[in-house]
Copies of this chain bind each other. A is one copy, B any other.
Amino acid sequence: MSIAEPLLDSCAGATPCDCRHGHATNGCEDCKVRLFSVCAALESSELEELDRISQAKQVPARTTLFEQSALAGSVFNVTDGVVRLYKSLPDGRRQIVGFALPGDFLGLALQDRYGVTAEAVNAVAVCRFARSAFLTYVDGKPHLLRRLHEFAGHELSLAQDQMLLLGRRTAEEKIAAFLLNMQTRYARIGSVSVTVPLPMSRQDIADYLGLTIETVSRTLTRLAREKVVLIVPDGVRLLDLERLRLSGAS
């Protein structure tokens, strides 16, 4: 899955960039921007331009990138770490609507105001674009705008999958779907490890899945007891993918 909000997901078929030669492909070390997704839509010259208007920034763990309903001044590209996006109720109940992983964008809906709050889960690196500069950049590139719109549609579809999960799935199904989803997303950005990193806290997972921290913990321990997963520091190793898919299948 991916990030909800004005953010863009890594696209399904994209392969991580391995460029070491100029700007021929996306996300090389010379570039600040990191794209596993918008790839196909960008020419190398365009990427250079995008890079020129970007500004790399380090964000310490637990700091806020932007707040819900604040004026949307920036568009972000996450290059390292994990960002949580959430909405809250006045009494403090919180729903995390997505986790942004490296390669994901925030604020791409280009709305006037942010629809969610974005906080760094761990130490995060981002590329920041002034919204106005980004708008200028996008304007006059109809193919890009078109691509952006396609992405938005994809985001919407993912949000609807999450609605199905929140409204109709059991705790175990939620956890299974979450783990499989995180695995897919990390695989996409080049993590070949069998172990799925889970940098976010149990509370974050609970708030993402509409559960409590205790239920998340219990469900994970049960899956571990049944040898479906192995719990390791800051992550989970998936042992029985079949069994997980049985619960978590879309």
Q: Are A90 and B159 in contact (CB under 8 A)?
A: no
Partner-binding segment picked from A18-26, A48-56, A108-116, A124-132: A108-116
Q: Look across to chain B and name the residue whose beta carbon is closest to the beta carbon of A111.
A: B153
In the bound complex, residues from chain B placing their C-beta under 8 Å from that of A5 are: 156-157, 160
A154 to B72, CA, bound (A): 14
Partner of A156, one of B115, B150, B168: B115
A145 at the interface (CB under 8 A from B): yes
Interface size class of A (residues with CB under 8 A): 35 or more
Q: Are B6 and A168 in contact (CB under 8 A)?
A: no
A95 to B4, CA, bound (A): 18
Q: Are A115 and B152 in contact (CB under 8 A)?
A: no
Chain A 127-170 residues near chain B, CB threshold 8 A:
139-140, 142, 145-146, 148-150, 152-157, 159-164, 166-169
Check A160/B109 contact, CB under 8 A, given A142-B139, A167-B209: no
Q: Look across to chain B and name the residue whose beta carbon is closest to the beta carbon of A72.
A: B153
In the bound complex, residues from chain B placing their C-beta under 8 Å from that of A87 are: 160-161, 163-164
A94 at the interface (CB under 8 A from B): yes
Check A210/B168 contact, CB under 8 A, given A116-B160, A160-B159, A163-B97: yes
A109 to B109, CA, bound (A): 13
In the bound complex, residues from chain B placing their C-beta under 8 Å from that of A116 are: 160
In the bound complex, residues from chain B placing their C-beta under 8 Å from that of A153 are: 6, 109-111, 115, 152
A6 to chain B, nearest CB (A): 6
Question: Can you give 19 A-B contacts (C-beta < 8 A)?
Answer: A4-B156, A4-B163, A5-B156, A6-B156, A93-B168, A93-B169, A94-B168, A95-B164, A109-B150, A109-B153, A116-B160, A139-B142, A140-B142, A145-B146, A145-B149, A163-B166, A166-B167, A167-B209, A168-B210
Question: Lowest 10 A-B CB distances belong to which pairs?
Answer: A109-B153, A167-B210, A152-B152, A159-B159, A115-B157, A166-B166, A95-B164, A93-B168, A97-B160, A166-B167
Residues of A whose CB lies within 8 Å of any CB of B are 4-6, 87-90, 93-95, 97, 109-111, 115-116, 139-140, 142, 145-146, 148-150, 152-157, 159-164, 166-169, 207, 209-210, 249
